[in-house]
């Protein structure tokens, strides 16, 4: 089989120097294979020394599920079987194409035998989990149809909701769109002591948008416009189901949101204006609950919401809506989507006002848990903790019709730049910002993170804009500004803390429509970077050497190349 990924893997191996692989802490078998001139990475096998507490068999396969009335919808989906370990490890979402919720305990050793039963290459990534590089689902490990890749890792994460989804080169968006995704919950003792709502009172809520044709089949054929803006559906699915409703008792619930959409950003708000009580984010519980008038949720992000329906009478209804906001898409596209009716987008414009699901109280009870005032302990990082307080590692966002870039480069295997090499067991300051308009020459941002101060980098970027022409003629500074849009930036590996967000004065108007819903506390692995925004984060790079991706979680952007590797060495 000679798919695109297969060729990429060949390229990866052929172009990779032994020295780099050794530095990356690559497994010995990779080096051995390379020495023998074998072109293809063999899938990882079970290691005899690893004693799993939990063993799962996971498959990506094709199937059909009834979503809309009438014909069943052809999907790709994860199916899992528990080979050994606690029964509560797997919980199906009834009637859904989504994979079962995988529930793990911190400290557990987990072996997952992942089998590709699709017709194309794939590999699975554990979004949010801190696992060794070769277990992380990097596209270079994509396996062919019929192959099995064995993932083995210990759960180092604290309690939180994570995601498993495919990560093959340039076809991630399509595979996720056709149904390959699932939630992975980690529990720990700190969380257990709080006795938060659990069982039927803890509800996973995976938000996605999809387009269907008249035969109930999923439509995914991104035109250039879709690739630029992201692919948007014209209807919302919650846990894979349309017109979602939840029947509840009049008491407190824990709603665990995961934005599994390819590109759509939500502004969550209750229909009656009740504030949202946020108790956790991507990387688990906040230190204490925080209330927001609404909360933003970008692709790849999670929110843990305390929803108390106490005192609401039987029959009461409440809707969770996505509320209006602006600025997520470029001005021109926003108008096109709203006014000219780009396919599918008119029904649900990005930043429009539309319902997500309905809550209906069907049982009254006076017995409800109380919201704890303290949730968890989080050691807050400061600049005093980082190795590079004066020279943040840059993540510069730029893009145009032909390519999407980070730090001036589109994704390529084995293309780690000097600025993307991070010493293991360090804590680093990173800065994510838009490089539109300031120019982005496409060459060698390398070294900047470690070598230069802030002002110096600014001058360099100006020079690069004037100097090394951009790779695409359409992408001058003017175009760059025009394509300035929101990007959810995701970093693999250990989770991070957001330490500051600032926005350019000329984008403050749009920013005002989202800023009160940006939850910046807690541990994060994905952060929504609005147009004109500059976000500083502190991230530890502990335990594992090797190649870890960072990319836009607008999956069309990711597949267009808005992805890079950090080499932790
Ligand atoms: Cu959720 Cu690299 O992805
Ligand atoms: Cu993006």
**Each residue of 316-357: pLDDT tens digit?**
999 999 999 999 998 655 444 443 334 445 679 999 999 999
pLDDT of residue 402: 75
Euclidean distance between CA atoms 390 and 449, whole angstroms:
9
Looking at the chain, the whole-number percentage of residues with pLDDT higher than 70 is 82
Q: How far, in Å, CA of 553 to CA of 559, rounded? A: 10
What DSSP string describes 133-150?
GGGTT-GGG-B-TT-EEE
Ligand 1 binding pocket includes 267 (Cβ within 6 Å): no
Angle at 113 between CA 111 and CA 117, to 5 degrees: 160
Mean pLDDT of 462-481: 38
Provide the H-helix boundaries in 274-432: 331-335
Nearest CA to ligand 1 atom 3: 127
CA of 550 to the centre of ligand 1 (A): 8
Which listed ligand is nearest to 399 at the C-alpha?
2
For residue 398, the cross-strand partners are 405
- 168-193: average pLDDT: 98
Taking all residues of the chain, what is their mean pLDDT, rounded to a whole number?
Answer: 87
pLDDT at 43: 83
Q: What are phi and psi of 174, to 5 degrees?
A: -65, -45
Would you say the CB of residue 300 lies under 6 angstroms from ligand 1?
Answer: yes
- Residue 449 CA to ligand 1 center (angstroms) comes to 23
Centroid of ligand 2 to alpha carbon of 481 (angstroms)? 14
487 C-alpha to center of ligand 2: Å? 4
For the record, the structure tokens of 218 come out as 């999923």
Contact 554, 488 (CB under 8 A): yes
Nearest to 532 by CA among 405, 432, 403: 432
CB 300 within 8 A of CB 163: yes
Ligand nearest to the CA of 560: 2
Confidence of residue 424 (pLDDT cuts 50, 70, 90): very high
CA of 409 from ligand 2 middle (Å) equals 14
With CA atoms as reference, report the closest residue to 93 among 316, 246, 321.
246
Opening angle at CA 500, ends 496 and 505, nearest 5: 140
Instruction: Tell which atom from ligand 1 comes closest to the C-alpha of 300.
Output: 1
How far is the centre of ligand 2, averaged over its atoms, from the C-alpha of 338 (Å)?
20
Q: What gap in Å lies between CA 247 and CA 123, rounded to an integer? A: 36
Judged by DSSP in three states, 461 sits in helix
d(CA 303, CA 297): 7
3-state secondary structure of 227: helix
Which atom of ligand 1 is nearest the CA belonging to 137? 2
- Per-residue pLDDT averaged across 50-57, rounded? 98
- The token duo for 160 is 């939180």
251 ligand 1 Cβ < 6 A: no
In this structure, what are the phi and psi dihedrals at residue 278, rounded to the nearest 5 degrees? -95, 125
For residue 138 and ligand 1, the question of a CB distance below 6 A is answered with no
Predicted pLDDT of residue 224: 85
| Residue 46 CB burial class (10 angstroms; 0-12, 13-18, ≥19) | middle
pLDDT value at position 70? 97
Give the 3-state secondary structure of residue 481. helix
Nearest atom (ligand 1) to Cα of 549: 2
Q: How far is CA 208 from CA 107, 118, 244, 337, 480, in A?
A: 31, 22, 12, 19, 29
Q: Inform me whether the pLDDT recorded for 130 exceeds 90.
A: yes
Q: Is 302's C-beta closer than 6 angstroms to any atom of ligand 1? A: no
pLDDT score at 330: 83
Give 223's pLDDT tier (boundaries 50, 70, 90). confident
* Strand duo 354-363 + 245-249: pairing: parallel
d(CA 305, CA 295): 10
Residue 170 confidence (pLDDT) above 50: yes
pLDDT category of residue 482 using cuts at 50, 70 and 90: low
Tell me how far the alpha carbon of residue 62 is from its chain's centroid.
Answer: 23
Sheet with 235-238, side-by-side order of all strands: 241-242, 235-238, 202-210, 252-259, 302-308, 276-281, 284-292
Does residue 511 contact residue 485 with C-beta atoms inside 8 Å?
no
Across 536-541, average pLDDT: 98
Q: Read off the tokens for 231.
A: 């692919």
Is the pLDDT assigned to residue 480 strictly greater than 90?
no
Handedness of CA 196, 157, 260, 392 (dihedral sign): positive
**Ligand 1 atom nearest residue 563's Cα:** 2
Cβ–Cβ contacts within 10 Å for residue 505, how many?
8
Rounded mean pLDDT, 273-284: 98
Radius of gyration of the chain (CA): 23
Which ligand has the shortest distance to the CA of 404? 2
Q: Which of 246-260, 282-296, 470-484, 531-545 has the lowest mean pLDDT?
A: 470-484
Burial class (CB in 10 A: 0-12, 13-18, 19+), 477: middle
Tell how far CA 46 is from the center of its chain: 27
Percent of the chain residues past pLDDT 90, beyond the cut: 78
Q: Are 230 and 264 in contact (CB under 8 A)?
A: yes
Nearest to 147, CA basis, from 41, 233, 302 = 41
Looking at residues 67-75, what average pLDDT do you find? 98
Higher pLDDT, 518 or 402: 518
Q: Is the CB of 564 under 6 A from ligand 1?
A: no
Backbone angles phi, psi at 192, to 5 degrees: -60, -35
The average pLDDT across 510-535 equals: 97
Q: Which ligand is nearest to the CA of 483?
A: 2
Q: Which residue minimizes the CA distance to atom 1 of ligand 1?
A: 127
Give me the pLDDT at residue 42, please. Answer: 77
Q: Is the CB of 557 under 6 A from ligand 1?
A: no
Residue 277 CA to ligand 2 centre (angstroms): 28
Distances in Å between the alpha carbon of 238 and those of 183, 235, 268, 320? 13, 10, 13, 11
Q: What spacing in Å lies between the alpha carbon of 462 and ligand 1's midpoint?
A: 31
CA distance 75 to 68: 13
Arithmetic mean of pLDDT, 407-436: 95
SS3 label, residue 231: coil
CB neighbours of 68 closer than 8 A, spacing ≥ 6?
A: 212, 216, 242
pLDDT at res. 35: 42
- Smallest CA-to-CA distance from 526 within 162, 276, 20, 188 is with 162
Residue 30 has pLDDT above 60, yes or no: no
Q: Could you give the CA distance from residue 450 to residue 385 in angstroms, rounded to a whole number?
A: 16
Q: Is the dihedral of CA 92, 128, 424, 377 positive or negative?
A: negative
Residue 351 and residue 345 in contact, taking contact as beta carbons nearer than 8 Å: no
Q: Model pTM?
A: 0.88
385: DSSP letter: G
Task: Indicate whether residue 165 lines ligand 1 (CB < 6 A).
Answer: yes
Sign of CA dihedral 311, 315, 316, 318: positive
**pLDDT tens-digit profile of 376-398?**
999 999 999 999 999 999 999 99
Give the model's pLDDT for residue 500: 98
In ligand 1, the atom with minimum distance to the C-alpha of 127 is 1
pLDDT surpasses 80 at 447: no
Mean pLDDT of 469-486: 53
**Ligand nearest to the Cα of 165, by number:** 1
Given a cut of 70, is residue 15 above it in pLDDT?
Answer: no
pLDDT of residue 188: 98
Q: What is the pLDDT of residue 399?
A: 81
Smallest-distance ligand from the CA of 491: 1
Residue 151 CA to residue 135 CA, distance in Å, equals 5
pLDDT of residue 481: 53
State the Cα–Cα distance between residues 278 and 305, nearest whole angstrom: 5
């Amino acid at each position: 089989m000679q798919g695109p990924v297969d060729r990429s893997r060949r390229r990866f191996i052929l172009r990779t120097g032994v020295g780099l692989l050794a530095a990356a802490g690559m497994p010995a078998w990779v080096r051995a294979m390379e020495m023998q001139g074998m072109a293809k990475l063999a899938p990882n096998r079970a290691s005899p020394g690893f004693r799993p507490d939990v063993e799962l068999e996971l498959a990506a396969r094709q199937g059909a599920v009834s979503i809309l009335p009438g014909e069943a919808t052809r999907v790709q989906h994860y199916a899992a079987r528990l080979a050994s370990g606690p029964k509560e490890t797997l919980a199906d979402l009834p009637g859904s194409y989504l994979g079962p919720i995988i529930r793990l305990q911190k400290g557990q050793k987990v072996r997952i035998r992942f089998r590709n039963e699709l017709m194309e290459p794939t590999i699975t990534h554990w979004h949010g989990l801190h696992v060794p590089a070769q277990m992380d689902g990097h596209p270079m490990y994509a396996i062919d149809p019929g192959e099995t890749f064995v993932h083995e890792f210990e759960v180092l994460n604290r309690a939180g909701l994570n995601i498993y989804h495919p990560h093959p080169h340039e076809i991630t968006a399509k595979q996720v769109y056709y149904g390959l995704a699932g939630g992975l919950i980690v529990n720990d003792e700190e969380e257990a002591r709080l006795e938060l709502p659990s069982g039927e009172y803890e509800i996973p809520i995976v938000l996605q948008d999809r387009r269907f044709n008249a035969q109930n089949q999923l439509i995914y054929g991104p035109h250039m416009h879709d690739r630029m803006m992201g692919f948007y559906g014209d209807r919302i699915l919650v846990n894979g189901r349309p017109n979602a409703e939840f029947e509840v008792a009049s008491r407190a619930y824990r709603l665990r949101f995961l934005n599994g959409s390819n590109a759509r950003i939500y502004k969550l708000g209750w229909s009656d204006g009740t504030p949202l009580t946020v108790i956790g984010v991507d990387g688990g519980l906040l230190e204490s609950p925080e209330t927001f008038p609404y909360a933003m949720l970008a692709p790849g992000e999670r929110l843990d919401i305390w929803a108390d329906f106490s005192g609401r009478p039987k029959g009461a209804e409440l809707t969770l809506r996505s509320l209006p906001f602006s600025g997520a898409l470029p001005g021109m596209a926003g108008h096109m989507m709203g006014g000219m009716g780009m396919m599918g987008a008119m029904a649900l414009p990005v930043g429009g006002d539309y319902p997500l699901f309905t809550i209906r109280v069907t049982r009254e009870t006076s017995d409800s848990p109380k919201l704890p005032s303290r949730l968890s302990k989080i050691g807050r990082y400061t600049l005093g903790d980082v190795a590079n307080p004066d020279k943040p590692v840059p993540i510069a966002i730029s893009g145009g019709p032909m390519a999407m870039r980070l730090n001036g480069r589109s994704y390529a295997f084995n293309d780690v730049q000097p600025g993307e090499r991070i010493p293991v067991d360090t804590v680093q300051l990173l800065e994510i910002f838009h490089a539109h308009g300031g120019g982005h020459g496409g060459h060698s941002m390398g070294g900047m993170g470690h070598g230069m101060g802030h002002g110096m980098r600014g001058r360099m970027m100006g020079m690069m804009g004037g100097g090394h022409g951009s790779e695409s003629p359409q992408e001058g500074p003017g175009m760059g500004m025009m394509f300035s849009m929101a990007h959810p930036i995701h970093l693999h590996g250990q989770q991070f803390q957001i330490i500051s967000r600032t926005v350019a004065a000329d984008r403050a108007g749009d920013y005002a429509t989202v800023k009160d819903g940006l939850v910046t506390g807690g541990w994060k692995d994905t952060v929504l970077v609005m147009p004109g925004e500059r976000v500083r984060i502190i991230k530890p790079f502990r335990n594992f050497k090797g190649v870890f991706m960072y990319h836009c979680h607008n999956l069309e952007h990711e597949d267009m190349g808005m992805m890079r590797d950090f080499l932790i060495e």
